[in-house]
């Protein structure tokens, strides 16, 4: 039984290799992978080269039928259009509005003019503590007082204190 199964598979493998070589000659291509573009799939588009390789071993009869129908017996084999895919970036969330840097700066200026501290805090770029210190020193040197800069500095210091308190082991008070 096992011997007849092996003979059948080798026969099918030889037959499929024969079909593939005939199809390659007819199309004038160099590799068997190039046959895939001429073999349509039920899900749309043409056959993937991995599918061709898998079918060669597991479903040689079905593959030989496809090759015979769409390449060997076809008067003029045609290339199958690729499967339609979603365009790149189509999975991005649509409910979030993305602003350019210039647009954000304009909105930030509008919020400053309106005096809306909450919106200013949301739209302001987050800086490091060192960045806030540097800008505060610069503003002091230029005799300017910026409440927003000071608020950012205070928030940054508080955030650092909370982070360091969270890292300390329990029971230790500094």
pLDDT for residue 86: 74
Instruction: Select the more confidently predicted residue: 3 or 64.
Output: 64
% pLDDT > 70, the chain: 85
Residue whose structure tokens are 């084999």:
77
Q: Around 88, how many Cα atoms within 13 Å sit in the side-chain half-sphere?
A: 0
The pLDDT, as a whole number, for residue 149 is: 82
Cβ(17)–Cβ(67) below 8 Å:
no
User: Tell me, what's the pLDDT at 84?
Assistant: 83
CB burial of residue 152 (10 Å; 0-12, 13-18, 19+): buried
User: What is residue 168's predicted lDDT score, i.e. its pLDDT?
Assistant: 66
How far CA 49 is from CA of 13, 37, 42, 124, in Å, comes to: 17, 9, 15, 51
Six-digit token pair at 65? 């039928």
pLDDT tops 60 at residue 3 = no
pLDDT exceeds 60 at position 140 = yes
Tokens, residue 79: 């290339």
Query: Using one digit for the tens of pLDDT, what is the confidence trace for 43-76?
Result: 889 999 999 999 988 988 899 899 989 999 988 8
- Dihedral, 119, 124, 129, 132 alpha carbons, nearest 10: -100
**pLDDT on residue 52:** 92
pLDDT more than 90, % of the chain? 20
Instruction: Quickly tell me which residue has 């500095």 as its tokens.
Output: 153
Instruction: Pinpoint the alpha helices (H) of the chain.
Output: 2-27, 49-58, 60-67, 101-114, 117-123, 129-141, 147-167
Average pLDDT, the chain: 82
Per residue in 82-129, pLDDT (tens digit) is: 888 877 766 666 677 788 888 988 998 898 899 888 887 788 777 888
Our CA dihedral for 48, 53, 58, 63, rounded to 10 degrees, sits at 70
């Amino acid at each position: 039984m096992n011997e007849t199964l092996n003979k059948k598979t080798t026969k099918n493998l030889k037959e499929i290799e024969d079909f593939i070589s005939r199809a390659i000659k007819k199309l004038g291509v160099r590799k068997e992978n190039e046959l895939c573009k001429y073999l349509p799939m039920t899900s749309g588009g043409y056959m993937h080269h991995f599918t061709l390789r898998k079918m060669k071993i597991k479903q040689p009869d079905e593959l030989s039928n496809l090759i015979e129908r769409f390449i060997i017996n076809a008067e003029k084999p045609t290339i199958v259009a690729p499967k339609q895919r979603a365009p790149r970036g189509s999975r991005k969330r649509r409910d979030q509005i993305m602003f350019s840097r210039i647009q954000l700066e304009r909105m930030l200026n509008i919020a400053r003019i309106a005096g809306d501290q909450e919106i200013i805090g949301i739209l302001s770029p987050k800086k490091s503590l060192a960045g806030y210190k540097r800008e505060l020193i610069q503003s002091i040197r230029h005799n300017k007082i910026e409440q927003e800069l000071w608020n950012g500095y205070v928030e940054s210091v508080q955030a650092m204190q909370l982070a360091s308190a969270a890292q300390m082991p329990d029971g230790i008070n500094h």
